[in-house]
Chains A and B, each alone.
Chain A
C-alpha cells in the first residue's frame, strides 16, 4: 500500500512536470507547480515514514508491465528505500515550500518548472527500483533533469561550462554503474535485484563491482577526486535546486552505493574497506580545505557537501571493515552513524543552501566579500542560517555532533579488528575526521561572520530586505528538524534500526524510550551522550550569563559607532575579509596541498596605484587527473582529425579491415 502511494506520488510529479508545459501562458503556474510538489511530497513523506516506522516487518513489491518485455519494471520498498524516500520527500517538501516565495524572483520560470518535479520523480524511482534496468533509467533521468536545472540560467557562460562538465561526469558515472550492474547480472543470471541478492559472487567480481560502484556513485556524490563538477554545478542552479542537488541528490548517490555494496553484493573482502576509508578521509579533509578558500557562499556550501560525503563514506567504510570481520555490532554502529549523518547532512545542507538563496534573492550577491551586516536586515534568515552553521560544524547540541560522535565511537572500537592495515588506517582516518570537523567550524565562522555580521560591504547588502514568509517557514522547519534530531538522537537511532538490521543483520542497542535519556552506542559504562541535558545546561548557562551581564553591566544596551582601532576610516572595505580570515589556514595547509602562492604587489613610494595581494591556488585533482586526460583527448582528436575527410571507399576499407582482423583473431583464438 505504501509503495503504491509512493509510486502514485512519483507519477503525480511526472504529470505535474508535463502539465507545467501546458500552462505556459498561465501566470500563476509557478505557485501551482510548487504547491503541487509540496502536497505530493508531503503524501510521499507520510507513506515512507509509515513504512519505515510502523510497517518495517513487511516489504511491499510490485512489478509493472513496462520497460523490457521479459523483465518488467520491479519496484520494492524495504526499510532502506523508505528511509531514503523519506529524506527525498522531506527535501521536496522544504524546497518547494521555499520556492513558493523564492520562485517569484525567477526570471525564466519555464526553464525550471517542468524539470523540478521530474527531478524528484527520477530520484524517487532510483530509490524504489528493484531491477537494474529501472535503476539505471531513473539514474539517468535524475542526471538529465538536474543537468537541465543546472543550465537553467543559460546566459552565464560559467553555468554552461559547469553544465558541460556535469554532463560528462554524469555520463561517465552512469557508464560505470552500467558496467557494475552488467557484472552483477552476469553472475546472478537476471537483472532483477532479487536474483542478485541471493547470488554469491566470485571474489574478483565483487572487487570490481565495488570499485565500479565507488566510481559511479562516488562521482555523483562528490567523492574525491571525482568531485570536480559538484562545486561548479550545484551553485549554478537556482538555490532551491541547489538545496535539492546537494541535500538530496548526493544522498540518492549514497543510497545507490549502499544498495549495491551492502545489499546486492556479497561476500566482500576486507581489503575493499581500505579504499572506502582512504577515499572518505581524503575527501573529508580536502573538501573542507577547498571550502575555506572560497569567497562564493554557494560554492563554499557545495565544497562542504564534498566534505560531508567524505564523512559518510568513512562510516560506510568502517561498516564494511567490521562486517567483513564478523563484528556485526560494530558494523551496525558504523552504518547507523553513516545513515544518521546522511539524514543530518540532508537537513542542514538544505537549510544552508536555502538560506544562501534567501541572501542571494535579497542582495543579488553570492560573493561573501560584498555581504555583511545582514543580521540587522534579515534577522529570521540569520537565526536559521546560524543554526545550520552550528549543526554542520558538529557542535552540540545540534544533529551534526550526534552523528559525527557516533562515527568517532565506531573509530574507537577499531582495535577489535584483526588486520593491522585497518587498525593503522582507521586511526589516521579518525585524525582526518577530527581535523575536518575543526576546519569546518572555522569555515562556518568565516561564512556566517562575513555574511551576517559586521558592517555591510556593498550597497546591495545595506539595502537587503528580509525574505518572504514561505521561504522563512522552510528555513525554520529545517532548523527545527536539525534541533530535534540533535536533541533526541536516540529516537533517530531507533528509527534506523530496521534499515541497519536489513543490511548488516544486527542493530545498535535499543535506545531507552523516554527520549531525554542519553544515547548509548555500545554500553552504558563505555560512553553515552545526553543531548537533552546538555541543551538544558547550555540554555541555563546562557540565560545566567546574560542575566549577570545585564545585572552587572553599566547600562543595558547602548548603540554606538563601531570601534575603529583608532584609525577613523568610514569604508567598510577595511573590515576583516574572507581571504584574510582564511589566510593562516591557507598558509599552513594549502601551500602544500593546493600549491597556494601569495604575491604582494607593493607600489613604490609616490605611486598612486593600490597595493595588491594575489593568491594562486592549484587544484590537485584537476591538475593531477583531469588535465592529463584532457590533453590526451586533444592529442587523439588531433591525430584522428583526418579521419573525417576520407572517401567512402576508404571508410568501407576500414570496416572491412576491422572485420578481417576480428575473423583472424577468432580463428587464432579457437
Chain B
C-alpha cells in the first residue's frame, strides 16, 4: 500500500516537471496560459494526494487554493488582460527553443543529482518530492530569464512558486503550509493586478524610469 502511495505521488510530481518543460517551448500566449492551467491542476492534484497520503487534512485547503486560484481565477484574469491589451502575438524567446530545452533537461538532472546526494538520510517520499520541486523551481527561473515578455515572465514566476508549494506540501510536518500558500496567492494577485494597472504592453525589459516617461510622452 505504501508503495502505491509513493508511486502516485511520484507520478504526479513528475507530471509537474513535465508541465514545466512544456511551458518552456510555448510560443503563443493562449497556449502558454493553457499549459499553465494544466500546471496548476497537476499541482493541486499532487498536493491533494499528499494530503491523503500524509493524512494531513490542512493540505486539502492548499490544494483547493491552488485549484481555485491558479487553475481558474488567474488564467481567466490573464486571458482577459491579454484580450483587452491585444498582446496575443507570437512570444519570442532568448536563445531559441532547442537550447532552452536542453538547458531545462540538464537543470532537471542537476536538481536530481543535488537532492538525492545531499539527502541520503531522508525518507523516500520527501527526497523524490524535493528533487522534483527543485527541478520545477529551476525551470521556472529558466523561463523567467529566457523570456522577454511580461506575461510569460509572470507565468514563469508562478510556475516557480508552484514548485515551492510542491516542496512545502511534500515535506512531512512542515508548519504553516496553508498560510504560505495564501501569502503566495496574494503576492501573485498583486503582481497580476500590477501588470494590469501599469499596462506595460510589450517589453518588461527595463527598469529605467526614463523609458517609461518617453513611453508616456508618445501616448499623450
Contacts and interface: CB of A to CB of B under 8 A. Distances in A.
Interface in A646-670: 647-649, 652-653, 656, 659-660, 663-664, 666-667, 670
Contacts of A663: 110-111, 114
A649 B144 CA distance: 7
Contact of B205 (A647, A656, A659, A667): A647
A647 to B, nearest CB: 5
A666 B145 contact: no
Nearest to A656: B141
Contacts of A653: 145
Contact of B107 (A647, A660, A666, A670): A660
Given A648-B206, A649-B148, A659 B117 contact: no
A664 B110 contact: yes
Interface string A28-51: 000000000000000000000000
Nearest to A651: B207
Given A656-B141, A656-B142, A670 B118 contact: yes
B204 interface: yes
Contacts of B110: 660, 663-664, 667
B138 interface: yes
Contacts of B191: none
A652 B145 contact: yes
B114 A666 contact: yes
B145 A649 contact: yes
Interface in B89-123: 94, 107, 110-111, 113-114, 117-118
B148 to A, nearest CB: 7
Given A656-B145, A659-B141, A667-B113, A647 B206 contact: yes
B114 A648 contact: no
B25 to A, nearest CB: 19
B187 to A, nearest CB: 17
Contacts of B153: 649
Contacts of A648: 204-207
Nearest to B141: A656
Binding site secondary structure of chain B: helix
B73 to A, nearest CB: 26
B102 to A, nearest CB: 14
A1 B186 CA distance: 55
B65 to A, nearest CB: 26
Contacts of A670: 117-118
Contacts of B205: 647-649
A666 B112 CA distance: 12
Given A652-B144, A660-B138, A667 B206 contact: no
Interface in B110-150: 110-111, 113-114, 117-118, 138, 141-142, 144-145, 147-148
A653 B111 CA distance: 18
A398 to B, nearest CB: 66
Contacts of A649: 94, 144-145, 147-148, 153, 204-205
Contact of B141 (A647, A652, A664): A652
A411 B39 CA distance: 79
Contact of A667 (B114, B142, B204): B114
Nearest to A647: B205
Contacts of A667: 110, 113-114, 117
Nearest to B117: A670
A580 B141 CA distance: 71
A666 B111 CA distance: 11
A663 B114 CA distance: 7
Interface string A429-466: 00000000000000000000000000000000000000
Interface in B67-95: 94
A652 to B, nearest CB: 5
A394 to B, nearest CB: 63
B209 to A, nearest CB: 13
Contacts of A652: 141, 144-145
A463 B15 CA distance: 93
A669 to B, nearest CB: 9
Contact of B118 (A656, A660, A666): A666
Nearest to B153: A649
Contacts of A659: 138, 141
Interface string B21-61: 00000000000000000000000000000000000000000
A276 B30 CA distance: 72
A515 to B, nearest CB: 70
Contacts of B113: 667
A652 B144 CA distance: 8
B96 to A, nearest CB: 16
Interface string A618-655: 00000000000000000000000000000111001100
Interface string A322-366: 000000000000000000000000000000000000000000000
A112 to B, nearest CB: 41
Interface string B139-167: 00110110110000100000000000000
Nearest to B111: A663
A647 B203 CA distance: 11
Contacts of A666: 114, 118
Nearest to B94: A649
A662 to B, nearest CB: 10
A24 to B, nearest CB: 39
A663 B135 CA distance: 12
A647 B211 CA distance: 12
A653 to B, nearest CB: 4
Interface in B176-220: 204-207
A667 B134 CA distance: 13
Interface in A399-442: none
B66 to A, nearest CB: 24
A660 B138 CA distance: 8
A652 B148 CA distance: 12
Contacts of B117: 667, 670
A664 B117 CA distance: 12
A660 B139 CA distance: 11
Interface in A570-603: none
A654 to B, nearest CB: 9
A655 to B, nearest CB: 8
A667 B147 CA distance: 28
Nearest to B103: A660
A361 to B, nearest CB: 52
A667 B112 CA distance: 10
Interface string A133-168: 000000000000000000000000000000000000
Nearest to B145: A653
A323 B94 CA distance: 67
Nearest to A653: B145
A648 B147 CA distance: 11
Contacts of B94: 649
B51 to A, nearest CB: 29
A661 to B, nearest CB: 11
Interface string A241-262: 0000000000000000000000
Contacts of B207: 647-648
Nearest to B113: A667
A667 B111 CA distance: 9
Nearest to B208: A645
A628 B56 CA distance: 62
A605 to B, nearest CB: 66
Interface of A: 647-649, 652-653, 656, 659-660, 663-664, 666-667, 670
23 contacts: A647-B205, A647-B207, A648-B205, A648-B206, A649-B94, A649-B144, A649-B145, A649-B147, A649-B204, A652-B141, A652-B144, A653-B145, A656-B142, A656-B144, A656-B145, A659-B141, A660-B110, A660-B138, A663-B110, A666-B114, A666-B118, A667-B113, A667-B117
Given A649-B94, A656-B142, 18 more contacts: A647-B205, A647-B207, A648-B206, A649-B145, A649-B204, A649-B205, A652-B144, A653-B145, A656-B141, A656-B145, A659-B138, A659-B141, A660-B107, A660-B110, A663-B114, A666-B114, A667-B117, A670-B117
Closest 7 CB pairs of A and B: A653-B145, A667-B114, A647-B205, A667-B113, A670-B117, A656-B141, A663-B114
